Structure formats: structure tokens, C-alpha cells
A = this chain, B = another copy of it.
Amino acid sequence: MAKITIKDVARHAGVQPSTVSRAINNHPNILPETKARILNTIQELGYVPDRAAKNFRTGKTRSISVILPITGSDFYNRLLNSIDETLEEYEYDAGVYPLLSERRLSRYQDPSALPYHTDGLVFASLNPNHLYENLFSIQGLPAVVLDISTPNFDNVTINNELGGYLAGMHLQERPAETFVINVEELFDTPFTSGVFAQRVKGFQKAQQEAGLRFEEDQLYTSAFTMRSVRETARLLLQERKGKINVFTTCDFFAYGLIEEVRLAGLTLGDDVRIVGFDDEPQAQDLGLTTLHQPVEEMGHTLAQMLMERIENPDLPVRSVQFEPILKVRSTT
């Protein structure tokens, strides 16, 4: 059986292809009864518009690509969900492109790669200026960036420095030896968003303002695996002298620390006070004091900005910053 096209529908409904097109695209100038008849015929024949033809003809795909580091955190799931929600209002769809390997990254240097075959791009925690050997790949494609303040792209960020500052201020309520567990940030990779460094910077600022010291020996680093986190936490707990305060630059690090605190027979919220960052669902389960990010608002704003830029590419570059909120729970 041959493919059913708009011509077949037209013939069966006794109209011209252009009228069928008007019927399926909610064009105003069409008689309701004509439209109804055509829609009926479409049902009968099981006609499905050829998206490739439509994309080609209109020069629009009504879809965008979300490019992100390896996926799966609660943060990215919520982000994608909220982007989806906003896109739906515009009848747009999103495809997800996790940068899981070097191979993928190098393939995406090619401007005709799949992700760029859409009307716009979201870069989540990724800096397009570092991702590409040159920006030719995404020439003229509307793009918005999450987590990184770029001068040449619309961007949505959270005030990470303020988050670190709030963590610092809060921990100062109970004076004690103070530590930070941060991620081992690799320099000069396309995956360096800089958010963690900003969190530490804000924390440092709070310490300085209070006349408290913050030296290298107070800063521990860990890789992004539970094993590494546990080792780091164990080391930190061994080297402590009395009661301590710890700021972990993400909740994930706090989980490992909490385990080690329990294993060491210490009391959470007293011997060891902890502030995390992200407010993942598990943070609430564990009673972890942490900095909440308004992920949904960020996603909505991001998607909204992209839609606006697709509609009007000449808009000036916009930058929106959200503020984290300290959620005080039982670990402090």
C-alpha cells in the first residue's frame, strides 16, 4: 500500500490539498463543515502528516534539543519536566542529548549533527563557548544556557555564591571547626560549569566577614562516586579535633558524610553539623539542611526564553538569576 498523502485526503473529501492543509493547521479561513468533513476523511484513511515534508516546507521543526552532561540526577529530571511543561504551551517538543562520551562530543562538532536539526538549543550546565572548537556548529541557532552566565547567550543561573554564603552564615550560629567538601573540579573541560567553585567562594566570603579563617586544610575534595565520598568523609572525621561544621557543595556528598558520622557513633546536628546543596528528595528524607534550588521556575524560564528567541532572534541577550533558599532541617 502506498503512503497516504494530503492529496489522497483532498481527493476523498472533494477539495484541494491547500484546503486540507488549512483544515489541519487551524487556519481561520475555512468553513467549519468543510473542516469537519476533511477531519473525518483523515480519520477514515488514517492519514498522518509527513513531518519531514512539513519541516522542510516551513523551515521549522517545532522541536528543540536539550544538551546536558550525563543525565539522571533528580535535578535534571525535574528540569526536563518543567521545560516540557512550558514547551507544551507552544506545541513544541524536546529531544534529550546527554553528552555521555567523548565520541558524542566530537560528533556534535559537526553542524549537521542531529541535535542541531531543531529550532533551538538548551545547554544545561554546559558552556557552549567551551563545548565547541568554534561556534560554527550552532551558527544562528537560538540557544539558552543554564547554570553559566555567558555574555553571548541568554542564560538562567542560580546565585551559587549566595548559596555558599547562606550556608556559611548558618553554620556560624554554632561556632566550631569548619570544613568544606567540594567536588574535584577538573579544569578546562567543557563540563566545568563553575557552580561548585562559586559555592565555595560564597562560603569563604561568609567566613571572612565573620573574621573566621578559611584555609586550604579546611577544604576537602571528592570525586563523584559514593566510594570517594565515603573515603573523604572518613578522613575528615579522623582528622577533626572536636565538634565540627561541614558544608558539602552538593547533597550527594552529604549522604556519604552522614553515613560515616553514624558509623563513627557521632551525633548528627551536634558533633557534626552539615549543610548540603540542591535539596534533593533524599535530603528531606534524611533531615539534611540544604540549599533549595527553584528548579521548576528555572526550567520554565529557560524554555520561555528560548521560545521568545526563536520567535524573535534579534532580542538582546538576557540573563536571569534565581536565589537559593536555605532549608533548615535536623542536621544543623
Query: Which A residues are within 8 Å of any B CB, using their own CB?
Result: 46, 48-53, 55-56, 59, 61, 63, 70-73, 76-77, 80-81, 84-85, 88, 93-98, 100-101, 103-104, 107, 111-115, 117, 136, 139, 225-227, 255, 259, 262-263, 281-282, 285-286
Instruction: From B50, B51, B259, give the contact of A259 (CB < 8 A).
Output: B259
> A259 to nearest B CB, angstroms?
6
Q: Pick the 8 closest A-B CB pairs, nearest first.
A: A72-B72, A93-B114, A56-B56, A227-B285, A95-B95, A52-B55, A96-B96, A52-B56
Instruction: Tell whether, in the assembled complex, residue B80 and residue A117 are in contact, meaning their CB atoms are under 8 Å apart.
Output: no
Verify A84–B103 contact, CB threshold 8 A. Answer: yes
- A85 CA to B72 CA in the complex, in Å? 21
Determine if B77 and A103 form an interchain contact, defined as CB atoms under 8 angstroms apart: no
**A95→B61 CA distance, assembly (Å):** 15
Given A226-B285, A285-B225, A107–B85 Cβ distance below 8 Å?
Answer: no
Write out the residue numbers on chain B whose beta carbons fall within 8 Å of the beta carbon of A53. Answer: 56
Residues of chain B lying within 8 A (CB to CB) of residue A262: 263
A53-B34 Cα distance, complex, nearest whole Å? 31
**Which residues of chain B are within 8 angstroms of A259 by Cβ–Cβ distance?**
259
**Are A84 and B101 in touch, CB under 8 angstroms?**
yes
Count the copies. Answer: 2
Cα distance, A77 to B70, chains bound together (Å): 8
Q: Is the CB of A80 within 8 A of B98?
A: yes
Complex CA–CA separation, A53 to B94 (angstroms) = 21
| Chain B residues within 8 Å of A112, by CB | 48-49, 51
CA distance A49 to B112 in the complex (A): 7
Q: How far is the CB of A133 from chain B (nearest CB, A)?
A: 15
A111 to B112, CA, bound (A): 25
Listed by A's residue number, 8 A-B pairs whose Cβ atoms lie within 8 Å are: A52-B55, A55-B55, A72-B76, A88-B103, A93-B107, A94-B114, A96-B96, A225-B281
Query: A81-B101, A101-B81, A101-B84 known; A226 and B93 CB under 8 Å?
Result: no
15 additional A-B residue pairs with CB within 8 Å, beyond A46-B139, A96-B97, A96-B98? A52-B59, A55-B55, A71-B77, A71-B98, A72-B72, A81-B100, A81-B101, A84-B104, A93-B114, A94-B114, A95-B96, A225-B282, A226-B285, A227-B282, A259-B259
* A136→B72 CA distance, assembly (Å): 30
| Nearest Cβ on chain B to A80's Cβ, whole angstroms | 6
Which residues of chain B come closer than 8 Å to A61, judged between CB atoms? 52
Contact of A97 among B46, B73, B95 (CB under 8 A): B95
Q: Is the CB of B100 within 8 A of A84?
A: yes
Given contacts A96-B96, A96-B97, A282-B226, contact A48 B81 (CB under 8 A): no
A85–B103 CB distance below 8 A: yes
Q: Which of B72, B113, B226 is close to A77, meaning CB atoms less than 8 Å apart?
A: B72
